[in-house]
Amino acid sequence: MTPEIVLLAGDAPGTQRQLICLRFGVAGARPKVYLQAGLHADEMPGVLALQHLLPLLDAAEAEGKIPGEVLVVPAANPIGLSQWAFQRPLGRMEAESLHNFNRGYPDLATRAGDLVDGLLGDDPAANAGLIRAALVQAVAEVRAQARTDMVEGQLTLLAWSIDADHVLDLHCDHQAVMHLYASPARPADTSLLCRCTGARVALIQDVSGGNAFDEAHTVPWLQLRQRFGDQVPAGCFSSTLEYRGQFDVSDALAAGDAAGLMAFLVGVGAVIGDATPLHPDAPHLPLGGAGEVFAPQGGVVTWDSAPGETVTQGQVLGHVTDPMTRVRQPIRATNTGLLFRLELWRSCLRGQSLAHVAGETVLRNGDLLSD
Ligand SMILES: [Zn+2]
């Protein structure tokens, strides 16, 4: 394993943060798989899962069983890790700008397309190589323009990951069952990841809006395909994985999750081993079919349902009680499907999003991600 440390320039006098990437296997070998956790720095389940994965990779490497290349960024957001206020970690957004650390990644397709214009031929593998090199150059150019630690950090991660075959971004939700997000480009990889991780649902969308980290890797290939046609393969599989809820942090869970990630690495050929998927495939449902449930009033939130339950449209999932008027209003499912997540907080404001139900019917279009 070779560690690579990048020092961020530092926004305030006397401060400097760093990112570390741990490289396993053969530099430049394929497939290249990139894993990171903690981009939202208050989400520890994925961070702990990678801590359990690293010794497995150490052992595989010692036995010469990593023919591909595996990059692991164990903590992707040192800025967020240091942000505590009101005695709580605030890892989702940068405190200075309120910018979500997992939004606003750059559009790379235009620049990369200009770089490969006229160079693509009939060999998809050769075209993929040209496009990857162009994407690396495009990231380097925009990274050279970074003016804050937050942007420099985002682009440092992207510089490590942009030419990978597989990119896994480990997050968690508030209260949730295991689920993941992916593009429709490589459904076999989505199925493999579901079978390895035990995801209960895969939420599928080609462009979700917001330019999240996962789509920074898949949207360029989609847009280049729109520009150049079939010469452009689906060159990267990328997924945001939600490792259950904020408090689902234990060594037992993380050890199981690390074993699942090893099964994925074996399944894509980056690692040689006997780790196998232990779960059935999950339904692949449209992200736009994830129905959102809103608070009917402000007050105390109580739940009658739990993540993982199948619910029907109109079903009472819980209640919000206004302690002053003593009015108790039901929280009703707006669609039929899998209740896969609930908000963490036990108090709410009127109109806040409280839960999501994954269904088959598309309900929403446009910008599909939460803030
Ligand atoms: Zn997250």
In this structure, what are the phi and psi dihedrals at residue 58, rounded to the nearest 5 degrees? Answer: -55, -45
Ion ligand 1, residue ranges at CB < 5 A: 40, 43, 171
Domains of the chain: 2-282 (3.40.630.10), 288-358 (2.40.50.100)
pLDDT of residue 364: 87
Q: Are 318 and 293 in contact (CB under 8 A)?
A: no
Q: For residue 367, how far is its CA from the centre of ligand 1 (angstroms)?
A: 17
pLDDT of residue 371: 79
Q: For residue 40, how far is its CA from the centre of ligand 1 (angstroms)?
A: 5
Q: Are 317 and 304 in contact (CB under 8 A)?
A: yes
Q: For residue 230, how far is its CA from the centre of ligand 1 (angstroms)?
A: 34
Q: Residue for token digits 């446009």?
A: 366
pLDDT of residue 370: 79
Q: For residue 43, how far is its CA from the centre of ligand 1 (angstroms)?
A: 6
Q: For residue 249, how far is its CA from the centre of ligand 1 (angstroms)?
A: 15
Q: For residue 173, how far is its CA from the centre of ligand 1 (angstroms)?
A: 7
5 class by beta-carbon count within 10 Å (0-12 exposed, 13-18 middle, 19+ buried)? exposed
pLDDT tens string, the chain, 371 residues long: the values are 999 999 999 999 999 999 999 999 999 999 999 999 999 999 999 999 999 999 999 999 999 999 999 999 999 999 999 999 999 999 999 999 999 999 999 999 999 999 999 999 999 999 999 999 999 999 999 999 999 999 999 999 999 999 999 999 999 999 999 999 999 999 999 999 999 999 999 999 999 989 999 999 999 999 999 999 999 999 999 999 999 999 999 999 999 999 999 999 999 999 999 999 999 999 999 999 999 999 999 999 999 999 999 999 999 999 999 999 999 999 999 999 999 999 999 999 999 999 999 999 999 887 888 77
Q: For residue 142, how far is its CA from the centre of ligand 1 (angstroms)?
A: 24
Q: Which two tokens stand for residue 360?
A: 């088959």
47: closest CA among 171, 156, 199, 173?
171
pLDDT of residue 301: 98
Q: Residue for token digits 């108790």?
A: 328
pLDDT of residue 265: 98
